[in-house]
Amino acid sequence: MKNTFKISALALAFAAFAFSAKAQTTTPTSTSTTTKDGIRYSIGVDAGLPLGNFKDNYKWNLGGSVQADIPVISKQLFVTVNAGYNNIFGKSDLAGINGTTFDQTDFHLIPVKAGLKFFPIQNFYVQGEAGAAFLLNKSDVGANKSTAFVYAPQVGVQFPISANGNFIDAGVRYEATTKFATGVDQSKVSFLGIRVAYGF
């Protein structure tokens, strides 16, 4: 029930960003660039809620990321390159053997992804990325792999906030990896995330 409430809150927050973009923007987002070659850069805060088997031991995640959007078709299609850091917080007082309890160690991940970002209409985009996620504390969480495949479909809004091309980029995504521990489904990271970024 708590997770349903949190997911609903994330969805409402995203809707608020979308409404704000529609109400305040009259020029296409794709013109919001400040570099001569049209590349956009953004720095964002990332947060999310674990899904599937992964949520059994983990409660939420927080991190940050940097992204470059490289134009392929002016004003509509971009290649994206994204790198960040995610701390996924473990749950406390989990049931162990013989009636004992334990605290799950946090996951420390560095995802590096590339993909495409497409604007079907003004200010609204769909984005798909894939790459590698690097686990920094493999031995602490009982994993036997330090790298896994990661993929992340996303939808979002992007709108200018100043005349010199600065913008806000807000998106909701599903992000998931392959297993970090052979044969252990709970070692596949998956979460519903939100990214709110400042672009320039």
Q: Which residues of the chain have pLDDT under 50?
A: 1-34
Q: What is the pLDDT of residues 24-46, one digit of tens each?
A: 433 344 444 445 578 999 999 99
Distance separating the N- and C-terminal Cα atoms of the chain: 39
pLDDT of residue 16: 44
Cα separation, 62 vs 94, whole angstroms: 21
Q: Where are the domains of the chain?
A: 2-199
Q: What is the pLDDT of residues 82-101, one digit of tens each?
A: 999 999 999 998 877 677 78
How is domain 2-199 classified at the architecture level of CATH?
Beta Barrel (2.40)
Q: Taking Cα atoms as reference points, which of 53, 43, 138, 48 lies closest to residue 88?
A: 48
CB 134 within 8 A of CB 112: yes
